[in-house]
Structure 1
């Protein structure tokens, strides 16, 4: 990979004639960067597709390539990209439905709005993965048909399709009403009984870890059940019975469903895995009694999950704040709190509760200022990035609490250039603060030069347009490829340097 040219391809200040030169010499990596340019013209986009056909995927998403720019016989990937965006021609789908390349038919099967005759061709494809791709996004009628497909992998794909009829999804879970599947990916490849080594060393092996078949297609059937349980279109009555299933992957999706009976949630709360209980704790469908049970769970991940529940009562949330490390995050219940509730939280004698309110970024000035003057450094760290805080308040925070709050102060969008310079020079340096300064819109050249001395802040500083142009040019020879790409992408890179870097045809 040429990191200089990849960075240059992303440089927003690159003149059009240099973009043309990059396109003429583009490889996959450079093309990926050029395809993201906001100033790319239709002519340049067509030239890029001619050079690197795979770039058509992103260009089609952006509407920069049209059907008039593509020859489906010579550029099947470009044609598939347009079909995926609904911008291709129906005749292309008919042509590609019999393409000898399996991957092309598989990509076609994922395209929306395919003509009925093309869907029929794909549904009868000899390659199960092509049919499975069609099944994963097929209409209700087609999904119902493919649920009876002889290959278990196709049925597995139907189970994940939210357009599949609820009765069909229920049947896929139980197997009732459907003819037995005759094959799966495992018995397609191996003589049964077979269990695939989860640590398989073969680099060319495409069997999933743990794939197993003894004639019943066990691992595929299990995954089909998992898919159906995650599918919100599967009826609650068909899935509730899995709430105490011994397989954790079959219980986990139930923990997040909003439509189960209370008894099912209670059984899930008894799951031995903290991950299942934590997912349940976040579910806004659980009742107050279960919230109380989960609030006393011995695992901190479960209590943190409950803190993220948008329906958790404030009195429970405040107790959790005092006993569980929630971290610096705006919780849903706090985001929805009324002004009166925020005022009560901000006046709490518990600093952990005041921290909850301090994460809001729309606080009334009087509450914001009171929290900015809080004696507890953890509260000040939470409020420090709040917009609107004057420079004198930010400096006072650092004066009172020192290095503990510096990184959060530098994260404030209104931090003044002079303040950022002073904080960059702090000794010993606060490395998190240097990274924040390096990406701050108000950072100045003196502050950025200090940031260059830090390994993690250096790539961020190299991308900042306030860095002196001669320094940016010097960074093109840096030992760290991240720094090189960032410098090449910096819009302050001198145009004469850009011209020297861009390849000639």
Structure 2
């Protein structure tokens, strides 16, 4: 890969005439970057497709090419890109439905708005992967027919389709009313010859190493049930009995459903598998009593997921945050939805965990923001430090009081001054995470960026910063790290003459 040319292809300051020169020498890697340019003209897009065939599909999907620009017989992948966006001609679909490449027919099967005759053709395709792809996204009438398909993988896809009629989904759970399946991946791999597999490619889904088939397709039937139980269109009364099933995977599939009885949720809340309880913990259908029960769960993952429940009581959330549950630097849904009175209450709480939770918000009233900026607890200050609207004096006071614990977050504040950012690069001991924040900060100065270049992780970010002087950028083009090279050559401050020379040098090699 030519990282210099790839970087130039992504450079927003590259003039149109140099884009033309890159198109003339583009390979697939350069074309991928060129296809993403917002200023690429239609003429350039057509020239790029002539140079690099696969770029037609990328450009078509990005909306740079229209049906008038595509010949489906010569550019089938580009035609598929337009059909995937429900743009294109019905005749294209008819042509591609018999394409000799199964992967293209599979992509076609996933396209919306296919003509009925094309759907019929794909529903009887010799490649199971094509029929399964169709079954996963087609209409209720077609799924009802494909539910009786002889291959279990097609039935599995029908079970995952939310458009499948509820009665059909209920039948897939029990098998009642459907003819016995003839094939699954396990038995098919053992019974088909290599020639058969080339002629009738198997689905993409690969069975687990311990998958079994003793003639009744046991593992495949289990997969169908798992998909059906996860499908919200499956009737609730058909899935209830699986709450006590020996398979944890089937019980797990129930945990996210919002239409079950309180008795089923009570059973799942004490399930022996922590994955079941963790998924249940975020279920919006849970009542307060079960939320409080799960708050005392011994598994960290359950408590962490419960903290993301949209209706978790604030006292429970504060208790989770105050304990050893790691919640991460994010605004939790319940905090984002907190009322003005609740925000006030949390900000004035004696518990620093409560103050930290509300400090994660970035829309706090000025009075609350100011109070939290002066909080005695470092974790609270670390959470509020990136909040816009803080003065330089407040940001410096945070660093003075709490030191290395808050430096990176202060550096991430959008209102941090150029002088403050420079001072933070000189902080002792150095804070590498702060250098990465400064390297991407729009107010970073030349001096600050040069310090950032000394850190391996901040170096690529600094190399692409437009405030870096042209001389520094040019030097970085010879860097041993390809990420730095691409960042430097994609820097909009790279001189035009250097861009032109680089293209001329690489094109002549």
Pick the TM interval, shorter chain. Answer: over 0.9
Residue 95 (1) aligns with residue 95 (2): yes
Matching residue of 2:26: 26
Q: Is the 8 A contact 1:53 1:77 kept in 2?
A: no
Residue 46 (1) aligns with residue 46 (2): yes
5 Å-filtered alignment, 1:44-443, equals 44-191=44-191, 207-210=206-209, 211-323=211-323, 324-443=325-444
5 Å-filtered alignment, 1:447-486, equals 447-486=448-487
Instruction: Give the deviation of 1:458 after TM superposition.
Output: 0.8
Q: Is the 8 A contact 1:410 1:420 kept in 2?
A: yes
Moved over 3 A (4+): 205-209
The whole-number CA distance in structure 1 between the counterparts of 2:244 and 2:426 is: 58
**CA distances 1:420-469 after superposition (whole Å, capped 9, x unpaired):** 01001112210110011111111111101000101111111111111111
The whole-number CA distance in structure 2 between the counterparts of 1:221 and 1:25 is: 53
Q: Is the 8 A contact 2:58 2:78 kept in 1?
A: no
Matching residue of 2:201: none
The whole-number CA distance in structure 2 between the counterparts of 1:12 and 1:219 is: 52
The whole-number CA distance in structure 1 between the counterparts of 2:342 and 2:463 is: 44
Task: Tell me how many residue pairs correspond in the alignment.
Answer: 493
Structure 1 residues 443, 76: CA separation in 2 closer, same or farther (over 3 Å shift)? Answer: same
Q: Is the 8 A contact 1:295 1:316 kept in 2?
A: yes
The whole-number CA distance in structure 1 between the counterparts of 2:290 and 2:502 is: 63
Instruction: Give the deviation of 1:206 after TM superposition.
Output: 7.6
The DSSP-based 3-state class of the residue aligned with 2:406 is helix
Instruction: Give the deviation of 1:111 after TM superposition.
Output: 1.2
Instruction: Give the deviation of 1:504 after TM superposition.
Output: 4.0
The whole-number CA distance in structure 2 between the counterparts of 1:447 and 1:266 is: 57
Q: Is the 8 A contact 1:186 1:207 kept in 2?
A: no
Structure 1 residues 382, 81: CA separation in 2 closer, same or farther (over 3 Å shift)? Answer: same
Instruction: Give the deviation of 1:8 after TM superposition.
Output: 1.5
Q: Which deviates more from structure 2 when the two are superposed, residues 314-323 or residues 206-215?
A: 206-215
The whole-number CA distance in structure 2 between the counterparts of 1:21 and 1:244 is: 66
The whole-number CA distance in structure 1 between the counterparts of 2:227 and 2:34 is: 37
Matching residue of 2:11: 11
Q: Is the 8 A contact 1:60 1:85 kept in 2?
A: no
The whole-number CA distance in structure 2 between the counterparts of 1:179 and 1:206 is: 23
Structure 1 residues 106, 264: CA separation in 2 closer, same or farther (over 3 Å shift)? Answer: same
Instruction: Give the deviation of 1:253 after TM superposition.
Output: 2.6
Instruction: Give the deviation of 1:82 after TM superposition.
Output: 1.3
Instruction: Give the deviation of 1:372 after TM superposition.
Output: 0.2
Q: Which deviates more from structure 2 when the two are superposed, residues 394-403 or residues 26-35?
A: 26-35
Q: Is the 8 A contact 2:57 2:79 kept in 1?
A: no
The whole-number CA distance in structure 2 between the counterparts of 1:367 and 1:12 is: 41
Q: Is the 8 A contact 1:135 1:146 kept in 2?
A: yes
Structure 1 residues 206, 278: CA separation in 2 closer, same or farther (over 3 Å shift)? Answer: closer
Q: Is the 8 A contact 1:466 1:492 kept in 2?
A: yes
Structure 1 residues 53, 249: CA separation in 2 closer, same or farther (over 3 Å shift)? Answer: farther
Matching residue of 2:198: none
Q: Is the 8 A contact 1:420 1:443 kept in 2?
A: yes
Question: TM-score under structure 2 normalisation?
Answer: 0.94
The whole-number CA distance in structure 2 between the counterparts of 1:221 and 1:17 is: 60
Q: Where in structure 2 are there 5+ consecutive unaligned residues?
A: 193-203
Structure 1 residues 17, 155: CA separation in 2 closer, same or farther (over 3 Å shift)? Answer: same
Q: Is the 8 A contact 2:185 2:207 kept in 1?
A: no
The whole-number CA distance in structure 2 between the counterparts of 1:206 and 1:149 is: 17
The whole-number CA distance in structure 1 between the counterparts of 2:369 and 2:148 is: 61
The whole-number CA distance in structure 2 between the counterparts of 1:6 and 1:169 is: 49
The whole-number CA distance in structure 2 between the counterparts of 1:499 and 1:93 is: 44
Q: Where in structure 1 are there 5+ consecutive unaligned residues?
A: 193-204
The whole-number CA distance in structure 2 between the counterparts of 1:206 and 1:369 is: 55
Q: Is the 8 A contact 1:102 1:130 kept in 2?
A: yes
**CA distances 1:97-155 after superposition (whole Å, capped 9, x unpaired):** 11111112111111111111111111111111111111111111011111111111111
Question: TM-score under structure 1 normalisation?
Answer: 0.94
Structure 1 residues 299, 32: CA separation in 2 closer, same or farther (over 3 Å shift)? Answer: same
